Structure formats: C-alpha cells, structure tokens
C-alpha cells in the first residue's frame, strides 16, 4: 500500500509524515553546523534525519525543497580508532591510545580507509579490503611476541587468522612494541596491525544501510569531510562535506 503523506506547516519550516515508516521529518531553516544541528534535533525532536529507503529520501527532498542542501544524520566516525583486542586488562592507562601515524595521516582517502597498517615503522590508514601481509601477536601472561604472516589477506581475514592461530592482530601499546613490530616487517613492506575504526554511522545509532551518494561526482571523496549533505538541487544526492559549514537541516520525530 502506498504511504499516505501528511504535510504540516511549522514555524521553523515544513514537516512531512510517512505513515509507512512512522517517522516525521522536519525541515529546519536555521543555519547551524552539523553538531549544532544534532543538538537542536535531539532537544526538540528525536535526532537528525535517518533515511531507510528511497521513499524516505523523496520525503526529505519534498520537505526541504526550498533549500539547496541540508544536513542529514549520516557521518563518518573518523575518530573511532580502536584495537582488535578489546580486553581492557591488556592496556595500562593511556596505552590503548598510543599512535604512530606517518605525518599527514590518517587521511581517509576516498572515504575507504578504515584499517591501519605498518610501513617502515610508521602507520598508514588503508582500505580494509586490500590484501596485505599482517602481524599477529601472542600474549602469554606479561610476555607479548609478534609474528609476521606472509599470506596476503584482507584486514578482516587477517583478524580471523590471528584469532584462530595466535591471540589477535597486533596491538601496539608503546614505542618499544612499535619497534618490535617494525623488526618483524621487512623494510619497504606493508603489514596489517590490529587498529581499525567505524565508518559511516547514523546519528541515532540506526543500522540503516541505505546510501544515496552522488557517485557521478566521486562521492564520498574522503579526507576530513565527515558529514553528509543531501543536495536538493541535485535530486537530493549525498555529498560528504565539512561538519563546520552552517546549513539548514532535517530532523525527525517518531509519529
């Protein structure tokens, strides 16, 4: 059955309800950064807009049709780096936060680089699907040793291999351990370590996999452009952009 749409005029903008998904979208004309918009939506409604399908997208396009572009709730969680080995007892205070990135990295090229590798003792972010050597670790009490695995694998395959045959992919807690891992990776070669991060997430924690990127414009295109703008002038197609721009936005509430 086709969804029935109800239009409601509000002082701040326009609201549209989809009876099918029970989510009401609210166009807010005020100009805010993404984080300001998120705070506003959470205070007055439920959150920034989550979009499950093309029907939702068409409603957002309709409700925001007087705008060139609006923030929605999708963002790239670029600061969520964590270790594959999640046992907190393994890390002393501050050790889980040790990093040895190469200058200028991580840079999230093409919005695809969510896993970390070692190259000549420094770290780089890379596409997790790339097939590379990897470094596993064995933890025996206070003793930690590292071993290079020469088989080329994706990061997820390497994680599974290390967990099956060792303890896990290598966690690097300090400079001394970084030197140990460097010692098992031949100069000029790259190898996965256990650091990874989350990618695109919805502000409300939804698991919606729907995406509407402007692929013809090369979107998403990486870097620190971690927030998503639905460009109404381009049929609502999504662009990743700076979270610091002040734009109108779309909230939702549960109807």
pLDDT at 8: 40
pTM of the entire predicted model: 0.78
Task: Give 223-235 pLDDT, tens digit per residue.
Answer: 778 999 999 989 9
All domains of the chain in start order, with CATH:
5-77+200-254 (3.10.100.10), 82-196 (no CATH)
SS3 per residue for the chain: CCCCEEEEEECCEEEEEECCCCEEEEEEEEEECHHHHHHHHHHHCCEECCCCCHHHHHHHHHHCCCCCEEEEEEEECCCCCEECCCCHHHCCCCHHHCCCECCCCCCCECCCEEEEEEECCEEEEEECCCCEEEEEEEEECCEEEEEEEEEEECHHHHHHHHHHHCCEECCCCCHHHHHHHHHHCCCCCEEEEEEECCCEEECCCCCCCCCCECHHHCCCCECCCCEEEEEHHHCCEEEEECCCCCEEEEEEEEC
pLDDT tens, residue order, the chain (255 aa)? 333 334 444 445 555 555 445 799 999 999 999 999 999 999 999 999 999 999 999 999 999 998 999 999 999 988 899 999 999 999 999 999 999 999 999 999 888 899 999 999 999 999 999 999 999 999 999 999 999 999 999 999 999 999 999 999 999 999 999 999 999 999 999 999 999 998 899 999 999 999 999 999 999 987 778 999 999 989 999 999 999 999 999 999 997
């Amino acid at each position: 059955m086709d969804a029935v749409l109800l239009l409601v005029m509000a002082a701040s903008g326009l609201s549209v309800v989809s009876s099918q998904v029970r989510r009401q979208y609210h166009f807010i004309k005020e100009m805010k950064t993404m984080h300001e918009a998120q705070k506003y939506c959470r205070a007055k409604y439920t959150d920034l807009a989550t979009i499950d399908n093309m029907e939702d997208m068409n409603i957002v396009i309709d409700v925001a049709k007087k705008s060139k572009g609006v923030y929605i709730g999708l963002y790239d969680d670029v600061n969520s780096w964590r270790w594959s080995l999640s046992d907190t007892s393994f890390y002393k205070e501050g050790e889980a936060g040790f990093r040895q990135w190469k200058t200028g990295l991580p840079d999230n090229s093409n919005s695809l680089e969510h896993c970390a590798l070692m190259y000549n003792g420094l770290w780089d972010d890379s596409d997790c699907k790339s097939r590379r050597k990897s470094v596993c670790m064995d933890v025996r009490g206070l003793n930690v040793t590292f071993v290079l695995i020469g088989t080329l694998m994706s990061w997820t395959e390497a994680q599974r291999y290390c967990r099956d045959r060792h303890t896990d992919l290598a966690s690097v807690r300090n400079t001394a351990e970084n030197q140990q891992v460097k010692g098992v990776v031949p100069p000029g070669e790259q190898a996965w370590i256990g650091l990874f991060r989350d990618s695109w997430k919805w502000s409300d924690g939804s698991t919606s996999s729907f995406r509407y990127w402007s692929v013809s414009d090369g979107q998403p295109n990486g870097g620190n452009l971690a927030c998503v703008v639905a460009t109404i002038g381009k049929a609502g197609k999504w662009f990743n952009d700076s979270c610091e721009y002040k734009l109108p936005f779309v909230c939702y509430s549960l109807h």
